[in-house]
Chain A
Amino acid sequence: MTNSLPGFRRTEPQDASFLKEWLSDPKILYGFPMEGEKEIEDSVRIWMSYAEKGYGLTALLNGIPVGIAVLYIQPFEKLVHTCLFSVIVSPDARGKGIGTALLENLENLAKYTFTIEILHLEVYEGNPARRLYERLGFVPFGRHEGFAKENDGTYRAKISMEKKL
Chain B
Amino acid sequence: MEEPEGFDIRYTRSMDVSYLKEWLQNPKVLEFFSMNTEAETELAVSAWMFFARYKASLTATINHIPCGIVTLFLMPYKKISHQSSFKICVDPKHWNKGIGSALIKNIKHLAKEYFHLEAIYTEVFEGNPLIPLLENKFGFHSFAKQANYVKAKDGYRERNCLIANLKEEVKDDK
Contacts and interface: CB of A to CB of B under 8 A. Distances in A.
B174 interface: no
B148 A142 contact: no
A160 B146 CA distance: 9
B144 A144 contact: yes
A117 B148 contact: yes
A33 B34 contact: no
B8 to A, nearest CB: 33
A82 interface: yes
B78 A77 contact: no
A149 interface: yes
* Secondary structure type dominating chain A contacts: mixed
B129 interface: no
Interface in B120-167: 121, 143-152, 161, 163
Contact of B77 (A35, A120, A142, A162): A35
Contacts of B121: 144
Interface string A47-88: 000000000000000000000000000111111111000000
Contacts of B83: 146-147
B124 to A, nearest CB: 13
Contacts of A150: 79
Given A144-B121, A144-B144, A144-B163, A78 B79 contact: no
Interface of B: 34-37, 40, 43-44, 75-80, 82-83, 118-119, 121, 143-152, 161, 163
16 contacts: A35-B77, A39-B78, A42-B76, A76-B36, A76-B40, A77-B36, A77-B37, A77-B40, A78-B35, A118-B146, A141-B147, A143-B143, A144-B161, A145-B163, A147-B80, A149-B118
Interface of A: 33-36, 39, 42-43, 74-82, 117-118, 120, 141-150, 160, 162
